[in-house]
Amino acid sequence: MSLALSYNFKIIYSNDIEETSNILEIIYKHGKYHKIDNIHLIKQKRISNDVNEQKLNIIASIPYIGEKYAERLLKNFKTIKAIINASPQELSLKAKIPYKTSIKIWRILNEEYKG
């Protein structure tokens, strides 16, 4: 941990709340002696062998979709492919997602990448 802070790593992963708490404590103590900028803590998800949980994780990782919307989408559309192929109206009506949000989701899934 001290090396990560000394060499300005930008992302620190934690597996649970307790580990995050310990990391924050170390950062706080270390920060008293060194300037600390741009530290982002990300909870690393464990990889599941359960296919349904994997599908939920995939859909929940799309911007504007959390676990609640992911579950609604999969219950109503049954497959990831059906969600990707759905119109904004279908996303909104079937999964009870606000229409403006469903448009944002549809754009992410369907507009061409410009990179």
Residues 25-79 have pLDDT tens digits of 887 777 655 555 555 555 555 677 889 999 999 999 999 998 999 999 999 999 9
| Interatomic CA distance for residues 95 and 28, integer angstroms | 42
Angle in degrees, 0-180, between the axes of helices 99-110 and 88-95, rounded to the nearest 10: 130
Walk me through the domains of the chain, giving residue ranges and CATH numbers.
2-43 (no CATH), 51-110 (1.10.150.20)
Query: What's the pLDDT score for residue 58?
Result: 92
Query: What's the pLDDT score for residue 49?
Result: 84
Question: Which tokens belong to 110?
Answer: 């369907």
Q: Which residues contact 73 (CB under 8 A, 6 or more apart)?
A: 59, 65, 83, 91, 94, 95, 97
